[in-house]
Amino acid sequence: MSAVTVIAHRGASGERPEHTLESYRLAIAQGADYIEPDLVMTRDGVLVARHENEIAGTTDVAVHPEFADRRRTQTIDGETLSGWFTEDFTLAEIKTLRARERLPELRPGNTVFDGHYTIPTFDEIMELAVDARVGVYPETKHPAHFTALGLSLEQLVLRTLDRHGYGRPGAPVFIQSFDPVNLRLLRGLTRLPLVQLLEHELGDLSAVASYADAIGIYKPLATAAGVNAAHASGLQVHVWTFRAENEFLPEDLRIGVAPATHGRLAEEIERYLDIGIDGFFTDFPAIGAQVRDARR
């Protein structure tokens, strides 16, 4: 059987606040094949790792009185959001913030780390990856939005990878995006593997295969027929996101009724591996690595 790829979703985000160097370090120690940073941009053109460019839920920005006047409302990719946005801050200002747990009710154990960790740059993450000899799986977040602001991500992502020796053919890299325009642009700039993220439907897989090397799909899309169709089009299939809490598990794999209690995540991963997926994103890479290793 070919190797299964374990992608540490925002690091070991089930055990540390997401998108922190400490979350990535733990994921590496637990055996992840790739660490996954979501990339957004600062006002002065630096890539940093946050789930979204709106940072109220993942940092302590709301308790910084010096930034109170930065709170605003804007529409991004058709969604109206209110809060604080990375493109309104310089890197120096971002570095005064501290990370917070995004899901405190489901992950109260992670809240003990609130305020401990800074917001990492992509360069810092790459330094960690190089030292650990681990793969990186960056996602370009809202590329059209940033391009409209004069802060295009594509060239900067590629230059950063290249600067750290990950721009060469065969380097352990996947670049992912929901935006096919972004991926088509990247295809004209690099031969590194590209991943089309899909949430609602698989669509025309042959068209996707013209510019991407893999699809990253939401779990409900991962049927045996869909996986087979993707493989027939020459696409790898990576599935997101596997989490241990009952809140995210099917009913038959839950333990008890409390949403935050951990259920039988390993069994859920096994079910998807049985239909032939090539890799998976997980907030709990230790469990993912155990399942992967048991299949070798």
pLDDT in tens, 226-253: 999 999 999 999 999 999 999 999 999 9
pLDDT at 296: 79
pLDDT at 1: 40
pLDDT at 2 over 60: no
Best CATH choice for the domain 5-52+117-294 from the list 3.40.50.300, 3.40.1350.10, 3.40.50.261, 3.20.20.190: 3.20.20.190
Q: How far apart are the first and last CA of the chain?
A: 7
The mean pLDDT of 34-41, rounded to a whole number, is: 98
pLDDT at 295 over 90: no
The token pair at 140 is 């370009």
The mean pLDDT of 28-50, rounded to a whole number, is: 98
Q: What is the pLDDT of residues 88-146, one digit of tens each?
A: 999 999 999 999 999 999 999 999 999 999 999 999 999 999 999 999 999 999 999 99
Please give the positions annotated as active site.
Answer: 9, 51
Is the CB of residue 6 less than 8 Å from the CB of residue 285?
yes
Domain locations along the chain: 5-52+117-294
Alpha-carbon distance of 173 to 7, in angstroms, equals 11
| Average pLDDT in the chain | 97
pLDDT at 180: 97
Cβ burial 66-93 (10 Å sphere, 16+ → b, else e): ebeeeeeeeebeeeeeebbbbbbbebeb
- Is 0.85 topped by the overall pTM? yes
- C-beta atoms surrounding 132 within 10 Å: 15
Residue (of 4, 17, 112, 97) closest to 59 by Cα position: 97
The mean pLDDT of 134-159, rounded to a whole number, is: 97
The mean pLDDT of 212-232, rounded to a whole number, is: 97
